[in-house]
Structure 1
Amino acid sequence: MSDAVSEAKSLVKSLRVFLAVSGVIALIAGLILLIWPAKSAILVTGIVAAYLIVGGIVYLVLGIVAGRGGAWARVGHILLGVVYIVAGIIAFTNLPAATVTLALVTAIFIGISWIVDGVVSLTLMGQDGTKVWTLLYALLGIVAGIVVLFSPLYAAALLWWILGIALVVLGAAQIVRAVTIGKDAKAASAALNG
Structure 2
Amino acid sequence: MSDIFYQKLRQMVGLDGLLSLIFGLLIIFWPDRTASVVTVLVGIAFIGIGAAYVSSIANHDDESAWARLGSLLIGAIYLVAGVFIFINLYVATAYLFLIVGLLVGMTWIIEAIVTFASLKFYNKKGWAFFSGIISLIGGIVLLFSPVIGAAVLWTLLGLSLAILGVIKIIQYFTW
Q: In 2, Cα distance between the equivalents of 1:32 and 1:163?
A: 11
Helix, strand or coil at the partner of 2:61: coil
Superposition misfits of 4+ residues, deviation over 6 angstroms: none
Q: Which has the larger radius of gyration?
A: 1
Instruction: Tell which deviates more after alignment, 132-141 or 158-167.
Output: 132-141
Q: How does 1:11-22 map to 2 (within 5 A)?
A: 11-22=5-16
How far does the alpha carbon of each residue in 1:81-111 deviate from its partner, in whole angstroms, 9 at most, with x for none? Answer: 1111011001110011000001011011111
How far does the alpha carbon of each residue in 1:24-43 deviate from its partner, in whole angstroms, 9 at most, with x for none? Answer: 11111111111110000000
Instruction: Tell which deviates more after alignment, 146-155 or 82-91.
Output: 146-155
Q: State the partner residue of 1:184.
A: none
Q: Which amino acid aligns with 2:145?
A: S
Helix, strand or coil at the partner of 1:129: coil
Q: In 2, Cα distance between the equivalents of 1:71 and 1:127?
A: 49
Q: How does 1:94-113 map to 2 (within 5 A)?
A: 94-113=88-107
TM-score if structure 2 supplies the norm length?
A: 0.94
The total of aligned residue pairs comes to 175
2:72 to 64, 78, 84: 78
1:128 to 118, 122, 126: 122
1:58 to 49, 52, 57: 52
Q: Is the 8 A contact 1:64 1:78 kept in 2?
A: no
Q: In 1, Cα distance between the equivalents of 2:89 and 2:113?
A: 36
Tell me whether 1:67 sits opposite 2:68 in the alignment.
Answer: no
Unaligned stretches of 5+ residues in structure 1: 1-6, 182-194
Q: Which amino acid aligns with 1:32?
A: L
Q: Is the 8 A contact 1:63 1:76 kept in 2?
A: no
Percent of matched pairs sharing the same residue: 33
TM-score if structure 1 supplies the norm length?
A: 0.86
Tell me whether 1:90 sits opposite 2:102 in the alignment.
Answer: no
Q: In 1, Cα distance between the equivalents of 2:121 and 2:92?
A: 44
